[in-house]
Structure 1
Amino acid sequence: MNRTSIVRTPYYGAVSTAAAPERPRAACADEDPELFFPIGDSGPALIQEEEAKAVCRRCPLMESCLQGALERGEAAGVWGGLSEKERRSLKRRAARNRAA
C-alpha cells in the first residue's frame, strides 16, 4: 500500500508527496522566517538581508521562488535571492523593455 500525504509549503500551496517524491527542499525551510523580512534598510537590516540572500544562493528552488514572488507581487522580504528594492527594479526594467 502506498501512502500519500499532503504537504503545505509557503511557496507552492498543497503538494502531494506521491506526485513529487524527488522534489528538492527549499533551503529556507529550516530557517527562521523573520530572517527574510528585515526591518529597515541600513545597518543590521542590511546584514540580515545579506544573510537571507546567502540562504537563497544555496537553494535549488531559488529561480522558481523568485518567479513566484514576481507573479504574486510580493512586496516585502527577500525572495529568490532578491530584496524588495531589487525586485522593484527588475519589474521596472522589464516594463521598460516591453514598452520599447
Structure 2
Amino acid sequence: MRTIVRTPSSTPAPVAKPRPACAGADPELFFAHALSTVQIARAKAICATCPLMASCLDGALERGEEHGVWGGLTEDERSFLKRRAARGHVASAA
C-alpha cells in the first residue's frame, strides 16, 4: 500500500498588492466635469484612507493629469505644486 505524504510548499504565497481605496467608488466622484466642494471633500476622504495615495499623486504629477482628484489633490492644488517645483521649491509632493 502506498502512502502520500504532503509537505509544505517551499514557494512563498503571493503577496497581495494593496488596492486603491477608489477602486470601488464611482469615477464621477473624482472626474465630474465641474467638481463641487462636496464631491471634492468626498473624493479627498476616500484618498485619505488609501495606501497608494502618495504614489497616485506622484504618478498624476509625472503624467501631467489636468483633471480630477488624484492622490488627494485637486487640479488647482496639483498645479500649485507644479509651479512651486518649477520655482525650485519642494520637488516631490510625497
Corresponding position of 1:65: 56
Greater percentage in strand: 1
CA distance in 2, matches of 1:46, 1:97: 30
Match of 1:37 among 12, 19, 31: 31
**Percent identity over paired residues:** 61
Deviation of residue 38 (structure 1)?
Answer: 3.4
Deviation of residue 51 (structure 1)?
Answer: 0.4
Q: Are positions 1:87 and 2:81 aligned together? A: no
Moved over 4 A (4+): none
**Where do residues 20-31 of structure 1 align in structure 2 (5 Å cutoff)?**
21-31=15-25
Corresponding position of 1:14: none
Q: Greater CA radius of gyration, 1 or 2?
A: 2
Alignment gaps of 5+ in structure 2: 1-13, 90-94
Aligned length: 76
Question: Aligned-pair RMSD on alpha carbons?
Answer: 1.5
TM-score, L = length of structure 1: 0.71
